[in-house]
Amino acid sequence: MPAKLRTRRELNCGQYVLPLGERTLVMGILNVTPDSFSDGGRFVNVEAALAQARAMVEAGADLIDIGGESTRPGSEPVDEAMELDRVLPVIRILSQELSVPLSIDTYKASVAERAILEGAHIINDVWGAKRDQRMAEVAARLDVPIILMHNREDTDYHDFFPNYIKDLRESVQIAMQAGVKQERIILDPGIGFVRTVEQNLETMRRLDDLVGLGYPVLLATSRKRMIGHVLDLPVDERVEGTAATVALGAAKGCHMVRVHDVKEMKRVTKMMDAMIKGGI
């Protein structure tokens, strides 16, 4: 078994500690938005959000990712006040009712800071600390883990994969220069963002190169367009395609997967971990 799949460490998240490398962790997606591509409008009130979060934890989610602004192509941006109105009530109740870490899915530093102060434990930034210059400073000052997703404004790659890795290294540099500790950094390949389908597939094939950078990797492929394109299926019929990407991610050494279908993907990761890492 490759050494990278044997490496074990811990991610400290406030009162919680997540074991990295011991098994593939499952992050459950909780969108409290009216327009997310897969589950928009389903969990916009606190009661529905709490019920869904509880169901995901019971199904095996190791952490819950809460988002108040859709990042799907063509979605309408929301201002800080509206985003806070959506996420803070949910974070408050989940931090009291659940016993797993919470991440806040936002690219706004002010939203991230308020969310952490209200009970979230991890920042998940789809712009890799490049959109809001204060994001890395907030993560450093509050001493919380930050997920840096690959993203960029320009879709014209001169040489795709080297440019892609360079972009991710830039996000890491921004975070570390702001004072984020190296052990607090997690990378997200950014599947489905600013890439063609073939570039997304190449990224999947080369996930081990990303793992080889030495940072924990979160793979977020759940129900995405790449799967729909390959299988020619709508969003609500992409569970099997998602399972294939999750299995490949586990085989390539990814530490976490971000998914809608927690029960099914927990089974996939458990089986993959048993085959790859041993133990049941």
Length of the chain: 280
pLDDT per residue as tens digits for the range 233-250: 999 999 999 999 999 999
Rounded mean pLDDT, 149-162: 91
What is each CA distance from 117 to 4, 56, 99, 142, in whole angstroms? 34, 24, 17, 9
Q: Nearest CA to 265 among 236, 245, 280, 237? A: 245
Catalytic residue among 86, 114, 223, 224: 224
7-276 topology per CATH: TIM Barrel (3.20.20)
- How far apart are the C-alpha atoms of 235 and 70, rounded to whole Å? 15
Buried (b) or exposed (e) across 200-232, using 16+ Cβ within 10 A?
bbebbebbeebbeeebbbbbbbbbbbbbbeeee
Ranges of each domain in the chain:
7-276
pLDDT per residue as tens digits for the range 75-128: 778 999 999 999 999 999 999 999 999 999 999 999 999 999 999 999 999 999
Catalytic residue among 114, 152, 252, 258: 258
Q: Is 258 a catalytic residue?
A: yes
- How far apart are the C-alpha atoms of 242 and 253, rounded to whole Å? 17
